[in-house]
Amino acid sequence: MNKMSVKDLKDLKGKKVLVRCDFNVPMKDGKITDENRIMGALPTIKYLLDAGAKVTLCSHMGKPHSIFSKEFKLNKKDQKKVDAGETTAEEIKAKALKDEPVKLTLAPVAKRRSALKEGEAVLIENLRFHWEEEKKDEAFCKALAYDAEIYVNDAFGTAHRSHASTAAIVEYGIIKTAVCGFLIEKELSVMADTLENPARPFVAILGGAKVADKLNVINNLLEKCDTLIIGGGMAYTFLKAKGYEVGTSLLDEEKIDYCKEMMAKAKAAGKELLLPVDTVVTSCFPDPIDGEVDAVTVDSDKIPADKMGMDIGEKTRALYASRIQNAKAVIWNGPMGVFENPTLAKGTIAVAQALADVYGKCTTIIGGGDSAAAVQQLGFADKVTHISTGGGASLELFEGKTLPGIACLNDKE
Ligand code: AMP
């Protein structure tokens, strides 16, 4: 990594530091369902506080579309329906700042920030209540920076966005000293290093709904990996490109030629591109999504005209697991099927299990999003090398893109 990190900064005592975190945690009924991002932000926050910095934390939460609403507040303390202790700000306070003498308050106002003492932190309310955040408004950047001397970006989950708090505040020259936090450093050191210089065999596993969402990812990973494994809804466009009928499965007609091109590219480069050899099919998409289904397994070249492919079959699970078993590095993004339904989650579970089985022998990286949630729900979180806190950001890394939230940071001297 050629970007400076908080570790490279000398003498933080009394320094005013603005830290962009990603506290955009999934919530259900006012409760946090996955606190990975909060936990990931803690090392940087603690480091800065221990060093005596005056810390202002900021983050976005959800998509409030520039309108203030209680639902998207980071601090829901005053929301009667939500139990104290279950709110984002309370959670951060409890986890990050434990019993330390730290003030954690809502502080969009300069007064609070100017009153900060060494080793104290404040949290600014959801940045996306302001349209200026996503539009990179310069006056907003200046207000956000206020009197901060140092900018720390630790919001990996938002590093692929070019917004006021993620990039513009530095790009406009408002804060000159700009470094990454420990979370971004860790995410990059594991993911970028593996992509650049993987141990081999290097296996990439891609799933999820649509091919169209992952065109550049497929193309870039094909160049880097030895085996590319395809599952999920996107597999059917590939199967169609292979000449198979796919019934009523998810199909992206416009991308059939692209899939042909990728298969030819793999062949020419001597890479293995694996598609499901058997498929779990149903008559229709489950409604509700976790409702009952009439699932049967068929070979992938025999999908009936009135059936829909919903998951990889048993033979495919074994095939994919065998490639994982022999791998020295694996990256995975996207479920193998409609994993929200217990009957159709077996393929996704099998991949998660196969990754857990090679723990310690192979670098295993989960690129955030649904696959990260699946690994966590299955209790395999401590049986993989790395679970990214950013689905979109890691996909852009897999595409070979430079993320704006990282590009703007100071280079190492
Ligand atoms: P993505 O956001 O692209 O990672 O896609 C995740 C979504 O893909 C999940 O909600 C899955 O239910 C869905 N998905 C996975 N496999 C299939 C499939 N065979 N047909 C339809 N949707 C699928």
- Nearest ligand 1 atom to the CA of 335 is 15
Given 367, 369, 390, 405, the catalytic residue: 369
Q: Quick check: is 113 catalytic?
A: no
Average pLDDT of the residues in 22-36: 79
CB 88 within 8 A of CB 23: yes
Which regions of 63-126 does DSSP assign to beta strands (E)? Answer: 121-123
Residue 53 pLDDT > 50: yes
Q: What whole-number distance in Å separates Cα of residue 254 and Cα of residue 335?
A: 22
The reported pLDDT for the residue numbered 413 is 82
Specify the residue with its C-alpha closest to ligand 1, atom 18.
Answer: 233
Distance in Å, CA 351 to ligand 1 centroid: 15
Give the chain's mean pLDDT: 90
| Listed range (95-104, 266-275, 315-324, 403-412) with the worst mean pLDDT | 95-104
CA dist 312 and 360 (Å) reads 26
pLDDT at position 91, please? Answer: 60
Q: Is the pLDDT of residue 83 over 60?
A: no
pLDDT at 346: 96
Does 343 have pLDDT greater than 90? yes
**The predicted structure's pLDDT at residue 326:** 98
Q: For the residues 344-373, what does the mean pLDDT come to? A: 94
Dig out the tokens for 299 from the structure.
């070979």
Residue 59 — φ and ψ, nearest 5°?
A: -165, 165
Residue 93: band (very low, low, confident or very high) from pLDDT cuts 50, 70, 90: low
Q: Is 26 a residue whose pLDDT tops 90?
A: no
What's the confidence (pLDDT) of residue 18?
96
Task: Give the contacts of 193 (CB within 8 A, at least 6 positions apart).
Answer: none
Residue whose entry in the numeric block shows the structure tokens 């217990």: 342
Q: Is residue 141 a contact partner of residue 172, using CB atoms and an 8 Å limit?
A: yes
When pLDDT is averaged across residues 225-254 and rounded to a whole number, the result is 97
| pLDDT at 82 > cutoff 60 | no
What's the mean pLDDT in 129-150? Answer: 94
- The residues that bridge with 17 in the sheet, in sequence order, are 55, 150
- pLDDT-wise least confident of 49-63, 68-82, 89-103, 208-222: 89-103
Give the DSSP H or E segment for 32: strand 31-32
Quick check: 72 pLDDT over 70?
A: yes
pLDDT above 90 covers what percent of the chain? 73
- Residue 81 has what pLDDT? 36
Cβ-contact 278, 300 below 8 angstroms: yes
**210 counts as catalytic:** yes
CA of 303 to the centre of ligand 1 (A): 18
- Contact (Cβ atoms closer than 8 angstroms) between residue 108 and residue 124: yes
| Ligand 1 atom nearest to CA at 337 | 16
Average pLDDT over residues 69-78: 72
Of the residues 234, 370, 399, which should be mutated to test ligand 1's pocket, given the most ligand atoms within 8 Å of the CB? 370
Residues contacting ligand 1 via CB (< 6 Å): 208-210, 213, 232-233, 250, 309-310, 334-335, 337-338, 340, 369-370
Helix H or strand E segment including 170: helix 169-171
pLDDT of amino acid 369: 82
Distance (Å) from CA 36 to ligand 1 centroid: 22
Residue 408 has pLDDT above 60, yes or no: yes
